[in-house]
Structure 1
């Protein structure tokens, strides 16, 4: 269980697990700053827009699978590399979320994703 002394890396991972599981508002209440902005080009840059989109996605995909592969923390930034599948049969995508913290709250977020192809010439795979 996370404590107040948790690392920013633990906070970022817990936030992502909460929103992936459908507990979007809890994740935002616990971790997102009032001054939050994000850089997803498909939504306006405010907290409310991305929170509503995450809620809609969670509602449409109640069996989402979120698997953290790596989390890195450096100063006030955290990067989380994960495999996200909208359902257990979905090939999903490799996703990287980059968080900027001020204190214990996320003030800025970037997310980048690449779909997992059915076939790949790269024998190493995406993970």
Structure 2
């Protein structure tokens, strides 16, 4: 793994954690490139809709938490596997993918989220 890939992994974690825990403007300032292409259907394209979404989420759910389980880098892509716990006790597993530009800045994002069910059909966890 290259130094750039290691830096991208850490920057993806820092970006996501900073935005998720309440400072999306700073996260964009530090970690996003000249463009930000969003694929999540609930968040508008570009940086301002991203900031607005995470500011609203922080106002509505201030006591949520996130744990980063895995970070994988390949080429200019980073994948994060997270465990989120929300104030009402709901738990989610997310898979986020970030594309970085040549300057090490995030320029594109995809994600999928799944609720952690109370019962599962096997003895494995989602983590």
TM-score by length of 2: 0.89
SS state at 1:7 partner? helix
Is 1:12 aligned with 2:3?
Answer: no
Using the TM superposition, give the Cα deviation of residue 44 of structure 1 relative to its aligned residue in structure 2, in angstroms: 2.4
Aligned equivalent of 2:49? 49
Q: 1:111 offset after TM fit, Å?
A: 1.1
Q: Which runs of 5+ in 1 are unaligned?
A: 1-5
Aligned-residue offset at 1:51: 1.7
Decide which moves more: 89-98 or 72-81.
89-98
Hey, what does 2:110 align to over in structure 1?
110
Q: How far, CA to CA, are the matches of 2:120 and 2:75 in structure 1?
A: 36
The one-character-per-residue Cα deviations of 1:9-44 (angstroms, maximum 9, x if unpaired) are 000001111012101111111011221111011232
**CA separation in 2, counterparts of 1:41 and 1:73?**
24
TM-score of the superposition, structure 1-length normalised?
Answer: 0.89
Distance 1:122 1:59 in 2: 37
Structure 2 runs not aligned, ≥5 long: 1-5
Structure-1 separation of matches of 2:43 and 2:26: 20
Q: Aligned-residue CA RMSD in angstroms?
A: 1.3
| Whole-angstrom CA distance in 2 between matches of 1:100 and 1:34 | 13
What's the secondary structure of 1:123's corresponding residue? coil
**Counterparts of 1:43 and 1:64, CA distance in 2:** 19
Aligned to 2:96: 97
Written as runs of structure 1 = structure 2, the 5 A alignment for 1:4-43 is 7-43=7-43
Aligned residue pairs, count: 121
